[in-house]
């Protein structure tokens, strides 16, 4: 993802982007939009393209009634180690994750665990637990400091019923520095644009990561937005006057919302039900077959390549 960000930044025309500013507010004038930053500076343009994420400050000003809801699941992030030279079945599995650049996901009624190699000797562990396991406030902030030992204790407890290879992996997991990620989702908003301001990506339709669709949907937003604006322009010209923007942005919302609303609903519905189904299936498979055989089949048959 970092390489993708760098590539996209290098495609931007003009001067290098300013990455150290914090958005404060925007205002629309007759033929332009003015953006103000916390440092007191301002900039102007024909169109404000807001890609500032799930808790978008631009969206908050544009649509004050929009609401981000907690999904009741929090991911704990940790790193565990393995020996790439070992012939132990568990280490062989983890080495395969590294060699095939793959993900391995396991589910239980109380947890989900995704494993991905982060180096030749380390595995990133992304453990999803009920948010009630952590002392979170209504806004998904910790109401007291949580230690790495506390997170490790939670991880051991919620994975206790999984395959011994998983519990052994989590017993070696390091939760320092403390990192957690409460899942949230934007309740669908009526439209993605107004005036000279348009939302794309998570700012427009932040959804559960259970489908892995966030980045893909942002690219679809960008492609369709360019297409609808071009289609609204007079032949052989590219302009961003008020008439073009009104037509192009209205088409952008009309064409995108049915798809993003559908994916948002599917992602929300999967969270409480998908874990139970997958737990039942995977539990039988894991205990009836050797863990290494199951994992090898999963790695060759179902994997996501970066």
| Average pLDDT taken over every residue of the chain | 82
Specify which of 128-137, 176-185, 220-229 reaches the highest per-range mean pLDDT: 220-229
From residue 176, give the alpha-carbon distance in Å to each of 73, 113, 119, 148, 152: 20, 18, 17, 5, 10
Measured in whole angstroms, how far is the alpha carbon of residue 60 from the centre of its chain?
A: 20
From the list 111, 119, 123, 108, the residue with the least C-alpha distance to 75 is 111
- 29-63 pLDDT tens trace: 988 999 999 999 999 999 999 999 999 999 999 99
Specify which of 109-123, 127-141, 217-231 reaches the highest per-range mean pLDDT: 217-231
On the 0-12 / 13-18 / 19+ scale of CB atoms within 10 A, 301 is: exposed
* Nearest-angstrom CA–CA distance, 105 and 223: 31
The phi-psi region of residue 201 (left if phi > 0; otherwise alpha if psi is between -120 and 50; otherwise beta) is left
- 282-305 pLDDT tens trace: 444 444 434 443 344 343 333 323
Comparison of pLDDT for 108 and 169, the residue scoring more = 169
Two structure tokens written together for 131: 């948010």
Two structure tokens written together for 248: 């192009």
Is a pLDDT exceeding 80 seen at residue 139? no
* Nearest-angstrom CA–CA distance, 82 and 120: 9
- 189-222 pLDDT tens trace: 999 999 999 999 999 999 887 777 888 999 999 9
Angle between helix axes 164-171 and 89-99 (nearest 10 degrees) is 80
Comparison of pLDDT for 268 and 49, the residue scoring more = 49
* DSSP per-residue string spanning 73-86: EEEEEEEEE--TT-
pLDDT at 302: 33
- How do strand 197-199 and strand 193-194 relate by DSSP bridges? antiparallel
pLDDT at 6: 83
């Amino acid at each position: 993802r970092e390489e993708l960000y760098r590539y996209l930044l290098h495609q931007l025309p003009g001067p290098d982007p300013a990455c150290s500013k914090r958005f404060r507010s925007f205002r629309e004038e007759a033929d332009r939009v003015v953006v103000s930053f916390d440092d007191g500076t301002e900039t102007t343009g024909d169109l404000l393209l807001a890609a500032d994420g799930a808790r978008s400050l631009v969206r908050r000003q544009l649509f004050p009634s929009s609401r981000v809801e907690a999904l009741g699941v929090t991911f704990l992030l940790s790193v565990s180690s393995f020996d790439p030279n070992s012939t132990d079945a568990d280490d062989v599995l983890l080495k395969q994750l590294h060699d095939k650049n793959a993900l391995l996901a396991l589910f239980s009624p109380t947890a989900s665990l995704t494993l991905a190699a982060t180096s030749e000797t380390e595995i990133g562990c992304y453990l999803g637990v009920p948010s009630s396991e952590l002392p979170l406030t209504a806004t998904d902030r910790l109401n007291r400091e949580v230690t790495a030992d506390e997170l490790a204790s939670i991880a051991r407890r919620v994975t206790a019923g999984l395959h011994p290879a998983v519990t052994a992996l989590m017993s070696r997991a390091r939760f320092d520095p403390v990192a957690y990620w409460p899942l949230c989702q934007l309740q669908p908003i009526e439209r993605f644009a107004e005036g000279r301001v348009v939302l794309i990506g998570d700012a427009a339709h932040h959804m559960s990561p259970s489908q892995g669709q966030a980045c893909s949907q942002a690219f679809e937003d960008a492609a369709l937005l360019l297409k609808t604006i071009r289609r609204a322009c007079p032949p052989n010209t590219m302009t961003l006057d008020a008439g073009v923007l009104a037509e192009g942005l209205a088409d952008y919302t009309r064409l995108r919302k049915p798809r993003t609303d559908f994916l948002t609903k599917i992602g929300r519905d999967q969270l409480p039900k998908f874990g139970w189904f997958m737990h039942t299936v995977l539990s039988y498979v894991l205990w009836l077959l050797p863990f290494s055989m199951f994992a090898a089949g999963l790695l060759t048959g179902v994997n996501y390549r970066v």
